[in-house]
Amino acid sequence: MRRWFDRHMKLVMVLPALIFIVLMIIAPLAYNFSYSFTDWQMSLVKAPKFIGLQNYKEILHDERFLNSVWRTIVFSSIAIVVETILGVALAVLINRKFHGRRVVQALMLLPVVATPVAMGMVWKLMLEPSIGIANVVVEALGFQRRAFLATTGFESMLWLIIIDIWEWTPMVMLMVYGGLQTIPLEPYESALIDGATKWQTFTKITLPLASSSILIAVLMRLIDVIKTYDIIYATTQGGPSFATETINIYGYLNMFAYYRFGKAAAISVLFFIVVMAMGCGFLWVKSKVEVEY
């Protein structure tokens, strides 16, 4: 018995995690997949009815779903571009000499680790049209009061993007800052001797040498940003009149607000495929980047 344990150590060590993964991940995913071919509404008691690809057909002609896809793309791309540019700029900034580095770093970390639902509520209060601080500021500056998250146009989406940027730019900053610290001093010294300008040093030395950490920060954000849920659900629940509804929110509402389980399952299957395709792309790029080390 003991010898068997010794010989199969690999299996013994991995088995508990493997069982967990099968029971909590693979089986549910398979269930979810099978639900997506059924008409199953309202009730857990009433059995689902097989309807083939009907749900998928319905979704692809559902304007609300297509809008949510579009919104997810807009939300993710704007957030990622701004977070990357800001994150790199801030990383370069905190790479300079200054007093209080430890404290500043720890405090900058707070938006990343603070509970998103709580942060969503704070933003909701600040942006609340009638009592929030934002409108006090807007009026003091001599502008018309605004509705912020309560607008049906693009403005509400824009504010959610701003919240996401506030929340995640510090993480990009910290990751890029970590990359900056691995750059040796020599290239900078020779650039100084050759009389390179600051901008040249930045684009020709800093950016290329930090590029792998920047790229990985971007890819990490990419995986998470399209799944953004907490902040949106806490502030707008996708409203007003669907103005901030992303795929994640629409899928969730179909499950637990409209109880259209079959349709919701189909939405989450499509979403799963997109996210995993992006994830595999991420792994591929990451492996390419790491070869250069």
Partner 1 sequence: MSKKTKDILKSVGTHVLIYAVLLITLFPILWMVLASIEPQQSIINQNAHGLLEFDATLRNYISIFTEYDFLKYTKNSLIVAFIAVALSLVIGLPCAYAIARFKMRKSSVIVLLVRMIPGISFLLPWFSIFSQLGLRNTYTALILSHMLVALPYIVWIMIPNFESIPVDLEEAACIDGTNRYGAFFRIALRLTTPGMITASLLAFIFSWNNFMFSIVLTGRNTVTLPVAIYDFVSYAYVDWGGLMAASCAITLPIVVLALLLQKYIISGLTAGAVKG
In the region spanning residues 116 to 135, those forming contacts with partner 1, defined by CB under 8 A, are 116-119, 121-126, 130-133
User: How many residues contact partner 1, by CB under 8 A?
Assistant: 97
Minimum CB–partner distance for residue 118 and partner 1 (Å)? 4
Compare residues 213 and 244 and give the one whose CB is closer to partner 1.
213
- d(CA 293, CA 290) in angstroms, rounded, equals 6
Single out the residue of 47, 96, 144, 291 in contact with partner 1 (rule: CB under 8 A): 96
CB neighbours of residue 222 within 10 Å: 18
Number of DSSP helices (H) and strands (E) in the chain, helices first: 16, 2
Which residues does residue 50 pair with via DSSP β-bridges, in sequence order? Answer: 38
Among 249, 236, 232, residue whose Cα is nearest residue 149 = 236
Minimum CB–partner distance for residue 77 and partner 1 (Å)? 18
Minimum CB–partner distance for residue 46 and partner 1 (Å)? 12
Minimum CB–partner distance for residue 13 and partner 1 (Å)? 4
Minimum CB–partner distance for residue 214 and partner 1 (Å)? 9
Measured over all CA atoms, what is the biggest interatomic distance in the chain, rounded to whole angstroms? 81
Cα 253 off chain centre by: 19
Task: Please report, as a single letter, which amino acid is at residue 24.
Answer: M
192 binds partner 1 (CB under 8 A): no
- d(CA 183, CA 181) in angstroms, rounded, equals 5
Single out the residue of 174, 225, 238, 244 in contact with partner 1 (rule: CB under 8 A): 174
Of residues 236-265, which lie at the interface with partner 1 (CB under 8 A)? 248, 251-252, 255-256, 261, 264-265
Minimum CB–partner distance for residue 78 and partner 1 (Å)? 19
Of residues 50-89, which lie at the interface with partner 1 (CB under 8 A)? none
170 binds partner 1 (CB under 8 A): yes
- d(CA 235, CA 252) in angstroms, rounded, equals 15
**Burial class (CB within 10 angstroms; exposed 0-12, middle 13-18, buried 19+) of 82:** middle
Residue linked to tokens 């409108």: 135
Q: Which stretch binds partner 1 (CB under 8 A): 6-14, 56-64, 151-159, 185-193?
A: 6-14
Q: Which stretch binds partner 1 (CB under 8 A): 56-64, 74-82, 197-205, 224-232?
A: 224-232
